[in-house]
Amino acid sequence: MSPDLEAVLALQAEDTIVAQLNGKLRAIDAKLKALDGERAQLEESLARARSTAEQEEKKRRELAIKVEDHKAMQERNLATLDVVRKPKEATAAMAQVDMLKKVLTQEESELHSLSLRVHDVHHAIDGQQKALDELDARQQEQRAAHAAERAGIEAELAKAKSVRNERAAHVPKSILLKYERILSRNTSNVLYPLRGQACGRCDTAIPMQRRNAIAAGRAIDVCEACGVLLYAAG
């Protein structure tokens, strides 16, 4: 095996390690994103419950004021009823008292249901807040574990990159340029061995002359079909 080929295969071996470490970092990022998503969902549902509570409380407050107004009105109606003497006026005043009594009964019943609803929504909010707190406590541990794992991988990655750069320095410029170009658009390997008379990756037949040059170790050639670098193994 020619020293150039040896150098570029050594580079590829280290780049495989770099790619694996980058893959691990992406996996951790995906886990963190999942944690964020889980938390956001709970927060959204909590925000919705709070907004419902606000609306129901506003309704309850407004209705409570209305009830107070109607109660005051009813007191005036009853006072009027006390002082009217003519039967016709008494009948009219009584009708007004009765009508408002019905309205008040209806409103107070609504007020009661609204109070129950507000209470229920607050109960739900407390439950959701508790769930969010528990989630945060649980996620804090998970996030700390992910951060520690990430730091370890980043340290490994820095080492692997420095090894990779050192190895790249031993690869001739012309080969390195091709290699880097293929690496930048390809997530799989850059170098593939010839398999019989064909490219080891895409199985396209390689013309004999070029195949012979590769086999003799005189060239690390590009597969014209799939664009990887070809070499003769062993």
For Zn ion, the binding residues (CB under 5 A) are 199, 201-202, 223, 225-226
Residue closer to Zn ion (CB basis): 134 or 224: 224
Residue closer to Zn ion (CB basis): 193 or 217: 193
227: left (phi over 0), alpha (psi -120 to 50) or beta: left
| C-alpha closest to that of 190 among 211, 207, 170, 168 | 168
The residues facing 198 across adjacent strands are 195, 205
Residue closer to Zn ion (CB basis): 49 or 230: 230
Burial class (CB in 10 A: 0-12, 13-18, 19+), 94: middle
Q: Measured from the CB of residue 192, what is the shortest distance to Zn ion in angstroms? A: 7
Q: Measured from the CB of residue 203, what is the shortest distance to Zn ion in angstroms? A: 7
Q: How many CB atoms lie within 10 A of CB 171?
A: 24
Q: Measured from the CB of residue 131, what is the shortest distance to Zn ion in angstroms? A: 55
Q: Measured from the CB of residue 41, what is the shortest distance to Zn ion in angstroms? A: 46
* Backbone phi, psi, residue 46, to 5°: -65, -40
Residue closer to Zn ion (CB basis): 152 or 196: 196
Residue closer to Zn ion (CB basis): 10 or 225: 225
| C-alpha closest to that of 18 among 168, 173, 232 | 168
Q: Measured from the CB of residue 184, what is the shortest distance to Zn ion in angstroms? A: 18
